[in-house]
Structure 1
Amino acid sequence: MSTQPPPPPHLWPAPPPQGYGYGPPPLNGFALASLLVGLLCFPPLGIVFGVVALVQVAKKGERGKALAVCGLTVSVLLSGVLVLGVERAADTLFERARASGAAEPYEDVEGELTDFAELGVGSCFNVPGGDLLAEDPFVYRIACTEVHDAEVTLAHALSGSRFPGEEELKESTAEECWRAQDAYAMDTWALPSYAEMFYFAPSRATWRDGDRRLVCVIGTAEQEHRGSLRKDAGMLEPDQVAFLRAMNEADLALGHAPDAGVDEALEEYRAWAREMDGVLAAEARMLDAAKARPKVAGPAGVQHERVEAARRQWRRASEATTGDGFAKAWDRALAELPVETEKTLRGAYGLSTTVPEWLEEAQGDGSGAPGRAPSVEQA
């Protein structure tokens, strides 16, 4: 049986002419993706898509060469901008490190690099070079049993939406941090001589950015220090707590003396004298109750007498009509409370009897008024 020969070539169906069924070649997807990714997402990926698009357009005859070139160009330019931004951010980071005294911020400092906001009460930490005054220091959290530069006594957010002003904020935060330190390490005489109070508070600029965090610390960077300084109400006997609260309140009140001279601010000094009378009245009530406890009865009775004598002088000061009269009553009030009497009473309570350097200096210069370590504000 014979087979049918194929039709001649001119009878095979031919594709319809352009414009009659097939239309223009398709648009290359990578060309469009190059432009979109370069503009909106990740420019380096836009470069890759642009190169792929140009190759496929050439091989497959697809449309989109101009789009791919445009996407490639945009992606290259934006990638350059991205690299420049990363470099500037890195420069800023290392500039902060240099400003804090650490050329290599992640080396040569004991502890784990920690966000400052993660520090809580009782946290101990180091800073590069032990510089607690550095602007925006890097913080390395470490166990308090190891050598450390500082220990947190208070960490919380300040209230209010309006920035209170530099001076007002400085005064209020310093007072709050002293109270926090006195509550954290109640036996202030037991603190080492190199311990100082520092605080980190928002500045006007950071307040606008939403920063409200106040962190108070005891700084011990001047010497190698191990161990926590914490000795709060939960670690003391109730009678020790009552005694220390009264004594610390008196110390804080003594620090409220006006900055101006007595003659220029006599009314302010008279108000301060009334404050002193009030805190000493509370101390007298505590001592009166303590006289019923055999182990402290004798020293408490002596201190009670001295406190009442001091109160009489403070009341005279509050009624003074001249700066000279106030100053004389002030001197007599301070002289009524010798440090040796308090030292004996502290020993009876089982507390530290080492007279702090700041108190020895005050007694030595004749002022009789306790001093405080300098407060430091850190934005």
Structure 2
Amino acid sequence: MTRRTPYRSLRGISAVAALLAIGAVGCSDVSDAVDSATDSAKKVARQRSVFSLDIGDCYNPSGKAEGTAYAVEIVPCDEAHEGQVVGEFAIDKGKEYPGDDEISTVADNRCPVEAQKYAPDTWALDKGVSLFYYTPTKESWATGDRSVSCTYTAGKGTFSGSLDTTKTLKPAQVTYLKGANAIYEALWANQPEKDTVEADLPGYKAQAKAVEAALNAHVEGLEGIEGTEVGKLRATLTEAAGNWKKAAAAADADTFYLAYDSAFTGIDPNKSVAAREELGLATTVPADEAEVWAG
């Protein structure tokens, strides 16, 4: 997860400056100036404080790439835009500001969960669109700000259309995505800080147990979905769940590694492509996930 809080500068003077210049130019220049003034006025009218962002808002940032956020330009989602708010929640950490690191940790953990409620199929996201978030600063915390806005934002360029797909998904698609997303959430949310199993065997066993539980729930959900490829995937994931169970019960690091190799390979996203196609879901494995399982 990357943390970015772009600086948002208010641009209330732009339209006024453009309009005052019209009287001193020729006809063609007047037309250009009017167009420029219209565009500027539209941007001014669309400015909104980051404190009033709502789920579903599509927006364009203003100003520099990093810093403290103040405002964004809200735009219709069918227009090109750089980001869309896909989740929000309030941080309950008492009166004292918990610090930037603690705030980021909370957002790292919650935003993927909140975003998946709004846009469950992360494979369907435009290339280069990633999850970011706006969080309170120490100064805004002192004024009562506790809100985190989770957004999908384009790293470069723009995208168009709303990312809200929950209303168009079929029940079988929703069931599949809920189960599949839970597997990878269990994997990454429980990733131990230590780089080796030897350094934290209990931590890695706990991760394996969480993944096994998510897999079992997903397999159970798939039992109610018809389809040849879905059936094949269910068998593959059932085997994977068995290997994660072995890893969770490992008595030592060597035993863990023996089970983990097959367990991790068993949840390779590429193994689900055929089932996704059968269900009418996106079939291109996101680049970051493909890189992980490519070794």
The answer, yes or no, to whether TM exceeds 0.5 is yes
Moved more, 179-188 or 206-215: 206-215
> Corresponding residue for 2:123?
189
Distance 2:235 2:101 in 1: 39
> Which residue, 348, 352, 377 being the options, matches 2:278?
348
Report % sequence identity.
Answer: 27
> Corresponding residue for 1:159?
92
> Which residue, 205, 219, 231 being the options, matches 1:270?
205
- Closer/same/farther in 2, CA of residues 323 and 193 from structure 1, 3 Å limit: farther
- Closer/same/farther in 2, CA of residues 328 and 164 from structure 1, 3 Å limit: farther
Aligned counterparts, 1:122-137, within 5 A: 122-129=56-63, 131=65, 133-137=66-70
> Corresponding residue for 2:28?
none
Aligned counterparts, 1:86-101, within 5 A: 100=7
8 Å Cα contact 1:299/1:341 also seen in 2: no
Report the residue type matching 1:139 in the other structure.
V
> Corresponding residue for 1:199?
133
Q: Which has the higher contact order (CA 8 A, sep 6+)?
A: 2
- What displacement does 1:137 show? 4.2
Aligned counterparts, 1:111-122, within 5 A: 111=43, 112-122=46-56
> Corresponding residue for 2:20?
none
Report the residue type matching 1:225 in the other structure.
F
- What displacement does 1:351 show? 0.7
Distance 1:179 1:154 in 2: 9
Aligned counterparts, 1:277-296, within 5 A: 277-290=212-225, 293=226, 296=227
- What displacement does 1:304 show? 1.2
- Closer/same/farther in 2, CA of residues 287 and 118 from structure 1, 3 Å limit: same
Distance 1:351 1:106 in 2: 46
- Closer/same/farther in 2, CA of residues 154 and 106 from structure 1, 3 Å limit: farther
8 Å Cα contact 1:130/1:221 also seen in 2: no
What residue ranges of structure 2 are gaps of 5+ in the alignment? 1-5, 15-38
1:247 aligns with 2:177: no
> Corresponding residue for 1:237?
170
- Alpha-carbon RMSD across the aligned residues, in angstroms, is 2.4
- What displacement does 1:170 show? 2.3
> SS in structure 2 opposite 1:151?
strand
1:177 aligns with 2:111: yes
- Closer/same/farther in 2, CA of residues 339 and 127 from structure 1, 3 Å limit: closer
- What displacement does 1:205 show? 4.2
Which whole-Å deviations, capped at 9, do the CAs of 1:8-27 have from their partners, x for residues lacking one? xxxxxxxxxxxxxxxxxxxx
- What displacement does 1:155 show? 2.9
Pair member with larger Rg: 1
> Which residue, 330, 334, 338 being the options, matches 2:260?
330
> Corresponding residue for 1:40?
none
Moved more, 144-153 or 133-142: 133-142
8 Å Cα contact 2:9/2:70 also seen in 1: no
Equivalent residues, number: 260
8 Å Cα contact 1:125/1:139 also seen in 2: yes
What residue ranges of structure 1 are gaps of 5+ in the alignment? 1-98, 366-379
- Closer/same/farther in 2, CA of residues 305 and 250 from structure 1, 3 Å limit: same
> SS in structure 1 opposite 2:224?
helix
Distance 1:313 1:155 in 2: 36
- Closer/same/farther in 2, CA of residues 130 and 330 from structure 1, 3 Å limit: farther
1:300 aligns with 2:235: no
Aligned counterparts, 1:28-177, within 5 A: 100=7, 107=14, 111=43, 112-129=46-63, 131=65, 133-162=66-95, 163-177=97-111
8 Å Cα contact 1:128/1:137 also seen in 2: no
8 Å Cα contact 1:127/1:137 also seen in 2: no
> SS in structure 1 opposite 2:128?
coil
- Closer/same/farther in 2, CA of residues 269 and 168 from structure 1, 3 Å limit: farther
> Which residue, 200, 220, 225 being the options, matches 2:154?
220
Query: TM-score, structure 2 length as denominator?
Result: 0.80
Distance 2:10 2:99 in 1: 34
